[in-house]
Amino acid sequence: MMASGELEELIQHLNDKISLTRRVLELRTIAKDADKRKILLKTGQDIVATNGLLNQLEALIERQRNNLSCLKELEEFFLEDLRDGQHLKDNPPPHLPRKGHHTAHSVAPSQGEAKQAQDARDKDPPPKAQRNLIREMEYITTQEFDSIPQYMKGRVTYSQLNAAVQSINTAVKGKYSILHQPTKTMSSAARKLYQRFKDEETKDTKGQFFVVEEDLHEFTQLKTDKRFQSMLSMLRHCQRLRELRGGGLTRYVLL
C-alpha cells in the first residue's frame, strides 16, 4: 500500500514532467518564428556560457576550501610554536647563551678519547663527592645551531632545541639523584626506579650518564614524538649525545 508521502512525491513528479513538456511545446512554437528563433539561440548560448562560469566558480571554491584547510594546519603549527616559545620565555634555561655573550664550548671527545679517559678513571677513581656529581648536557650555541643542515632542522627552532636539552638534563638529574641516594632512605617507588635504572646499565654505560625514553616520561613532560627524533639527530650532530642500543632499549648517552 502506497504511503501518502510517496503519493504526493509521485504527483509532484508527474506535474513537473507535464510542465516541462508544455515548455518544450511552447519553445517549438517560438522556434518557428525567425526573429524569436535568433533570441532563443542567443539565450541558449548565454545559458551555456553561464554554466561554464558556474563550473569555474565551483572549481575556485574547491581550491579556496583546500587553501583554508592548509591555513588551518599552518595555524596549528604556529600556535604550537608560540606556546613553546612562551614556555621558554617564562622558564628560560639558566645557561642559555645571550646576545653579546659568547659561551666557550669545548669540543666533545671522540669515542676513543672517552674510552681512554674512562680507563684512567677506573684506575684512579675520584673521591665519593666527585663521583656523585651529575653531568649535564651543554646548551646549543647559536653558531652550532646555524651549522646544522636545514634538512635536519626542519621546523625545529633554536629555542625548542635548547628546551629539549633542558628536559634531558632534568631527566638525568632525576635519575642519578635516585642512583646516588642511599637505598635505606628510599621509598618503595624510588626503589623500583632504582632497580630499573640498574637493570638498564651495561658494560658500555659504565661511568656514563644516560637516559631512556621512559626516564623522559618519568621526570619531564617532553613528548618523544617525530619532532623529538629530529632533535636527537641535531644533538648527535652537535656531539651532545650518542645512542647505544641493546636489550630492546635505546640509551641516550651524554658526551
Q: What is the pTM of this model?
A: 0.50
Looking at CATH, the fold of the domain delimited by 125-254 is given as Arc Repressor Mutant, subunit A (1.10.10)
CA distance 158 to 84: 11
DSSP helix/strand/coil, 144: helix
- Residue 203: per-residue pLDDT: 92
Query: In the chain, which residues have pLDDT < 70?
Result: 1-5, 31, 36, 40, 93-132
- Residue 104: per-residue pLDDT: 40
For residue 190, give the C-alpha cell: 624510588
Q: Could you please report the per-residue DSSP string of 70-100?
A: HHHHHHHHHHHHHHHHHHHHHS--TT---TT
Q: Give Cα 42 to chain centroid, integer Å.
A: 58
**Residue pLDDT, tens place only, 192-202:** 999 999 999 99
Query: Using CA atoms in the order 28, 29, 35, 38, what is the torsion angle rounded to 10 degrees?
Result: -10
